[in-house]
């Protein structure tokens, strides 16, 4: 996935002179995960560069650039370090288009690696998609495969609205997939049905897709037919696809690693109730992180969602 993201940046940088890429360690070193490796060499330090260590100013300057003709793609080094920029994001980035009555667009992407399962120290394992999806004016995108990462990132860079692009760091290098070298896009705002099924709808995104696929194999053995949906975009959320699926299966399990309360899972359950209430045969269920801080490495075995736990909840939902 690291390569696919690098490739998406490469394609856009070569195609559009107004794109700049910056953040902490993204230039000379090519990023702590090497996502931007080689790009400074290829496009020069005026377009791909290291900034001082200050997330709020990285995002704030990005907004300024976006207002004045550039299309910045900025990096927050980790999920937990996007918060110093929260004020800029919630107070300015997300509002400028509305405040200026459409005079200003904010064609800006804020990328960062997110999620747990990598034995990291504090603040390196978080899933803040709900925090950002809650902010009106932002789009929030989370790819689950190298292919999707490339197509979605290109769409994000081409979007005239600000996009939060969350990269599942746990599978940065875990999933091998041949990705077409050519330019292609994947639409923002559309979920994808990965596997069709009839008994239960499982909705997930990012690093949890792989865990769901493993759980699905267990469910299959138990004779349960799962319809797996990759949300791909958190906001604008694809109600249509979710609604249709629940109307078909009558059941929904949401899988995500973020804290469960006030989350994307909560939102999906609201959608299930609002759009498919009369079709439900069991209460929609969240299989999500506890409402705790993501534990340090030794405790992650409890916190991180496993295929077994997903299967357990699928089975309970089926047997409800």
Partner 1 sequence: MIFDEFNPSEDKILRVIDNDGEVIRPDLIPDLTDETVVKAYKTMLFERVADEMAISYQRQGRMFTYPSNKGHEAIHAAAGMIIGPDDWLVPAFREIGVMLAKGVTMKEIFLYYNGNEHGSNFKNAPRVLPVNVPIGTQLSHAVGIGYSIKYRKKNDIVFTFIGDGGTSEGDFSESLNFAGVWQVPVIFTIQNNQYAISVPVSTQTKSVNLAVKSIAFGIPGIKVDGNDFFAMYLAYREASEHARTGKGAVLIEALTYRSGAHTTSDDPSRYRTKEEEERWGLSDPMPRLKKFMERKGIWKEDEDSLRDQYKNEIDNQFLEAENFAPYSLDDVFGYMYTEMPEDLKKQKEEYEQFLTWKGSRR
C-alpha dist (Å) from residue 36 to 8, 31, 48, 100, 261: 10, 6, 8, 33, 34
Is residue 24 a contact point for ligand TPP (CB under 6 A)?
yes
- Which of 36, 51, 77, 145 forms a contact with ligand TPP (CB under 6 A)? 77
In the complex, the smallest distance separating the C-beta of residue 27 from ligand TPP, rounded to whole angstroms, is 13
- Would residue 26 be called left, alpha or beta, if left means φ above 0 and alpha means ψ between -120 and 50 degrees? alpha
Distance CA 227, CA 202 (A): 6
In the complex, the smallest distance separating the C-beta of residue 196 from partner 1, rounded to whole angstroms, is 28
C-beta closer to partner 1: residue 193 or 269: 269
The answer to whether 124 is a known catalytic residue is yes
Residue 155 touches which of partner 1, ligand TPP, none (Cβ within 5-8 Å per kind) = none
Q: Judge whether 241 and 230 are in contact, CB under 8 Å.
A: no
C-beta closer to partner 1: residue 127 or 260: 260
Q: Among the candidate windows 77-85, 151-159, 194-202, 296-304, which touches ligand TPP by CB under 6 A? A: 77-85
Q: Among the candidate windows 49-57, 172-180, 236-244, 272-280, which touches partner 1 by CB under 8 A? A: 49-57
Distance CA 72, CA 43 (A): 14
Q: Judge whether 167 and 144 are in contact, CB under 8 Å.
A: no
Token duo for residue 10? 């490469």
Is residue 79 a contact point for ligand TPP (CB under 6 A)?
no
Q: Which of 225, 216, 151 is nearest to 185 (CA)?
A: 151
190's CB contacts (< 8 A; 6+ apart) are 232, 233, 238, 241
Q: Judge whether 3 and 175 are in contact, CB under 8 Å.
A: no
Residue 261 touches which of ligand TPP, partner 1, none (Cβ within 5-8 Å per kind) = partner 1
Number of residues this chain uses to bind partner 1 (CB under 8 A): 41
- Which position among 97, 123, 124, 134 bears the catalytic label? 124
In the complex, the smallest distance separating the C-beta of residue 308 from partner 1, rounded to whole angstroms, is 6
Distance CA 76, CA 110 (A): 7
In the complex, the smallest distance separating the C-beta of residue 132 from ligand TPP, rounded to whole angstroms, is 17
Distance CA 147, CA 299 (A): 32
In the complex, the smallest distance separating the C-beta of residue 50 from ligand TPP, rounded to whole angstroms, is 10
In the complex, the smallest distance separating the C-beta of residue 30 from ligand TPP, rounded to whole angstroms, is 15
C-alpha dist (Å) from residue 95 to 92, 235, 250: 5, 16, 38
C-beta closer to ligand TPP: residue 53 or 270: 53
Is residue 51 a contact point for partner 1 (CB under 8 A)?
yes
Is residue 312 a contact point for partner 1 (CB under 8 A)?
yes
Q: Among the candidate windows 50-58, 63-71, 136-144, 275-283, which touches partner 1 by CB under 8 A? A: 50-58
Is residue 64 a contact point for ligand TPP (CB under 6 A)?
no
Token duo for residue 74? 């900025």
Residue 300 touches which of ligand TPP, partner 1, none (Cβ within 5-8 Å per kind) = partner 1
For 308-318, give one letter per residue: b (16+ CB within 10 A) or e: eebbebbbebb
Q: What angle do CA 31, 34, 40 make, to 5 degrees?
A: 65
Is residue 250 a contact point for ligand TPP (CB under 6 A)?
no
Interface residues with ligand TPP (CB under 6 A) are 24, 53, 55, 77, 81, 84
Interface residues with partner 1 (CB under 8 A) are 24-25, 28-30, 32, 50-54, 56-57, 80-81, 83-84, 119-124, 260-261, 290-293, 295-303, 308-309, 312
Active site residues: 124
């Amino acid at each position: 996935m690291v390569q696919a993201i690098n490739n998406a940046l490469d394609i856009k940088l070569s195609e559009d002179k107004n794109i700049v890429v910056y953040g902490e360690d993204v230039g000379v070193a090519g990023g702590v995960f090497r996502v931007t490796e080689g790009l400074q060499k290829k496009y020069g330090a005026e377009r791909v560069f290291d900034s001082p260590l200050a997330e709020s100013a990285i995002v704030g300057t990005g907004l300024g650039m976006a207002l004045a003709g550039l299309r910045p793609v900025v990096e927050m080094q980790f999920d937990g370090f996007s918060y110093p920029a929260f004020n800029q994001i919630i107070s300015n980035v997300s509002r400028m288009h509305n405040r200026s009555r459409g005079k200003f667009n904010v064609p800006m992407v804020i990328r960062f690696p997110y999620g747990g399962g990598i034995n990291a120290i504090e603040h390196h394992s978080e899933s803040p998609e709900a925090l950002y999806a809650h902010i009106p004016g932002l789009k929030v995108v989370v790819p689950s495969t190298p292919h999707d990462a490339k197509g979605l990132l290109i769409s994000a860079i081409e979007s005239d609205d600000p996009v939060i692009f969350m990269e599942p760091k746990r599978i940065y290098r875990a999933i091998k997939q041949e990705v077409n070298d050519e330019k292609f896009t994947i639409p923002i705002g559309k979920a994808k049905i990965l596997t069709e099924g009839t008994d239960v709808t499982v909705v997930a995104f990012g690093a949890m897709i792989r865990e769901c696929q493993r759980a699905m194999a267990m469910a299959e053995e138990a004779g349960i037919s799962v319809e797996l949906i990759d949300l791909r975009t958190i906001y604008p959320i694809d109600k249509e696809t979710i609604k249709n699926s629940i109307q078909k299966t009558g059941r929904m399990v949401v899988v995500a690693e973020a804290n469960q309360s006030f989350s994307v899972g909560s939102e999906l359950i609201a959608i299930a109730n609002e759009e498919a209430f009369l079709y439900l045969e069991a209460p929609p269920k969240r299989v999500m992180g506890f409402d705790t801080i993501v534990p340090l490495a030794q405790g992650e075995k409890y916190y991180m969602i496993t295929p077994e736990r997903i299967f357990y909840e699928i089975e309970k939902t089926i047997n409800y």
